[in-house]
Amino acid sequence: MNALNITKGTSSKSAYNLRSGHADLNERHTLAVLVANEPGVLARVIGLFSGRGYNIESLTVAEVDHQGHTSRITIVTSGTPQIIEQIKAQLGRIIPVYDVHDLTVEGPSVERELSLFKVSGKGEKRVEALRLADVFRANVVDSTLDSFTFEVVGSPEKIDAFAELVRPLGLSEMARTGVAALSRG
Partner 1 sequence: MSGSKMVVQALIDQGVDTVFGYPGGAVLPIYDEIFQQNSIKHFLVRHEQGAVHAAEAYARSTGKPGVVLVTSGPGATNAVTGLTDALMDSIPVVVLTGQVPTFMIGSDAFQEADTVGITRPCTKHNWLVKDTDALAHTLHSAFHVASSGRPGPVLVDIPKDVQFANGTYEGPAKMKSHYQPKLKGDLEAITALVAAMEVAQKPIFYTGGGVINSGPIASQLLRELVAATNFPITSTLMGLGSYPGNGDNWLGMLGMHGLYEANMAMHDCDLMINIGARFDDRITGRLDAFSPGSTKAHIDIDASSINKVIHVDIPILGDVAHVLEDILKVWKARGRKTNSKALKTWWGEIDDWRKIRCLDYATDSKVIKPQYALERLEALTKDHDRYITTEVGQHQMWAAQYMTFNDPNRWMTSGGLGTMGYGVPASIGAQVAHPGSLVINVAGEASWLMNMQEMGTAMQYGLPVKQFILNNERLGMVRQWQELLHGERYSQSWSESLPDFVKLAEAFGAKGILCSDPADLDEAIMEMLAYDGPVIFDCLVEKHENCFPMIPSGKAHNEMLLGDAAIKGAIDASGSVLV
Of 73, 19, 68, the C-alpha closest to 45 is 73
159: DSSP letter: H
Residues 6+ apart with CB under 8 A from 37: 63, 69, 70, 71
Sole window of 90-98, 103-111, 137-145, 146-154 interacting with partner 1 (rule: CB under 8 A)? 90-98
Q: By rule CB under 8 A, what string of x and - marks binding of each residue 97-136 to partner 1? A: -x--------------------------------------
Report which secondary-structure segment, H or E, holds 134: helix 124-135
Residues 6+ apart with CB under 8 A from 113: 58, 153, 154, 155, 156, 159, 176, 177, 178, 179, 180
Under the criterion CB under 8 A, does residue 6 sit at the interface with partner 1? yes
Q: Which of 51, 108, 123, 185 binds partner 1 (CB under 8 A)?
A: 51
Q: Which amino acid is at 66?
A: H
Under the criterion CB under 8 A, does residue 21 sit at the interface with partner 1? no
Under the criterion CB under 8 A, does residue 93 sit at the interface with partner 1? yes
Shortest Å distance, C-beta 100 to partner 1: 10
Under the criterion CB under 8 A, does residue 67 sit at the interface with partner 1? no
Residues 6+ apart with CB under 8 A from 149: 116, 117, 118, 119, 140, 141, 142, 143
Under the criterion CB under 8 A, does residue 145 sit at the interface with partner 1? no
Sole window of 23-31, 38-46, 59-67, 143-151 interacting with partner 1 (rule: CB under 8 A)? 38-46
Sign of torsion over alpha carbons 28, 87, 53, 46 = positive
Q: Which of 65, 82, 122, 167 binds partner 1 (CB under 8 A)?
A: 82
By CB under 8 A, name the binding residues for partner 1.
3-18, 39-40, 43-44, 47, 51, 82, 85-86, 89-90, 92-96, 98
